[in-house]
Structure 1
Amino acid sequence: MTDANAPGASARLYSQTDHDERGNFHYEGDLYRAGEALPSLASRIDRQLAQHFTGTSFAIRTETFAGGRKVIAEILDTPDDLTGREAQDAFIVEVRDQMERFGFTRTNPLQDFWSCSFYSEARIGQAYWAALAKRQGIRNPVDTVLSLAAFKKRVKAGDRLKLLDAPSGHRLLGTTRDITEVRSGDLILEGRSYLSFPRASAFACDGRLIRIAIGSQYGPDDHLLYEWLRAS
């Protein structure tokens, strides 16, 4: 089924639409549906991004709050090299242009006025930097013998973690700390610190070594390498 163009829908993309001489900004996407429920909107955006950006994967999530609702597209992987700021900005604009086709925006900053069907955000996820590092060749590779889910079931209070490698300047490099509590989202370590569980794609464990990818645009291959010392 093909969406019919909404009345008044713009032939231009969101980023190509300018404010007029009075400060008014009016944009209505060609795929906009009045009164569309948020789950349906997010699902259609997900399909559109998958079709438009070949070889790129996204994670779509939604938020609702007092001022409205929001759709967030997190970029998990893409063949494009996004290490440069210009490349990042250009790709994010391109993603948001596709998202905004599903909504409308009426604004005038001179009158402090803003009305839209939803807010959109595109961001580069940490998973992208981990995927980029793998393509470029990672340091301290660890075989994934235990999945993150399996590790959560086996790790327990009394086990210890020794930090073998980390980004330069990490203050805890070389230290060994006891695990005092295992929670659904993190490990509580001695010294009132905690270690949050990453996405499954950023975690690797061979039963002894644990590698957690924490890369960013400044260091795509940044990671934490732990030795898992189990309690006897």
Structure 2
Amino acid sequence: MTDATAPCASARLYSQTEHDDRGNFHYEGDLYRAGEALPSLASRIERHLAQHFAESTFAIRTEKFSGGRKVIAEILDAPTDLTGRDAQNAFIVEVRDQMERFGSTRTNPLQDFWSCSFYCEVRIAQAYWSALAKRSGSRNPVDTVISLAAFKKRIKAGDQLKLIDAPAGHRLLGTTREITKVRSGDLILEGRSYLSFPRASAFACDGRLIRIAIGSEYGPDDHLLYEWIRLNAA
């Protein structure tokens, strides 16, 4: 296969680059460094996104696999309302364009050929929906008196959790279940069920009530509200 070299490729963004008549696609970003190690690449992308999208917050993760490597940018907060699918797609493309400036891609789908310095992915994290709900006014707010790390140390087998609020139709709403085991990543509850610990940003506990944000584009303020009934409570 012969790649068509796009003149002044670095002057265009990834989403603005077209395939030629033979199906060849070539993009090399203006911030690309050949042979750059993944930690260095991720660090540069993280700093760049923080500067370019000054009012937004991102978490950068990396993955390595047999077919290559990937940099994932999770959107934690942004001033833009991303509830609508068009708004989501537009912002994701905008973020990805900035990430792709650090890479190089050659591809031809007609010949099933793809070569890139790294794969790029942008996700809207659950934390974004929690932040959006807070700006809009969250239901059942709970003060963060006990951090998630402290909660993991204090909760123990024998304690109970009563689900007192949840999205409509939740089958366990109103039930009280005993904790049978506490593990590093979750709680095992009676009835062969478990409750995974969320990210710290999605967790709030005032010592009695526990609020776990599970919002999405379909319900930014969706959450689980538990009453924590301790075994040694008076």
In the alignment, structure 1 residue 77 sits paired with structure 2 residue 77 = yes
Partner in structure 2 of residue 168 of structure 1: 168
In the alignment, structure 1 residue 217 sits paired with structure 2 residue 213 = no
Partner in structure 2 of residue 122 of structure 1: 122
Partner in structure 2 of residue 145 of structure 1: 145
Tell me the distance in 1 between the aligned counterparts of 2:72 and 2:191. Answer: 35
Structure 1 residue 191: Cα displacement: 1.1
Partner in structure 2 of residue 95 of structure 1: 95
Tell me the distance in 2 between the aligned counterparts of 1:91 and 1:27. Answer: 20
Tell me the distance in 1 between the aligned counterparts of 2:193 and 2:174. Answer: 16
CA displacement, residues 161-213 of structure 1 (integer Å, 9 cap, x when unaligned): 00000000100000111101111111111111111111111100010000000
Partner in structure 2 of residue 188 of structure 1: 188
Partner in structure 2 of residue 25 of structure 1: 25
TM-score norm. by structure 2 comes to: 0.95
TM-score norm. by structure 1 comes to: 0.96
CA RMSD of aligned residues (A): 1.0
Structure 1 residue 10: Cα displacement: 2.2
Structure 1 stretches of at least 4 aligned residues deviating more than 2 Å after TM superposition: 7-10
Structure 1 residue 9: Cα displacement: 4.6
CA displacement, residues 22-80 of structure 1 (integer Å, 9 cap, x when unaligned): 11111000000000000000000001100100210000010000000000000000111
Partner in structure 1 of residue 230 of structure 2: 230
Match of 1:132, SS state, is helix
Tell me the distance in 2 between the aligned counterparts of 1:58 and 1:39. Answer: 16
Q: Is the 8 A contact 1:45 1:99 kept in 2?
A: yes
Partner in structure 2 of residue 4 of structure 1: none
Partner in structure 2 of residue 3 of structure 1: none
Matched pairs, number: 226
5+ residue gaps, structure 2: 1-6
Tell me the distance in 1 between the aligned counterparts of 2:97 and 2:9. Answer: 14
- Give the percent of matched residue pairs that are identical in Structure 1 and Structure 2: 85
Match of 1:177, SS state, is strand
5+ residue gaps, structure 1: 1-6
Tell me the distance in 2 between the aligned counterparts of 1:129 and 1:23. Answer: 39
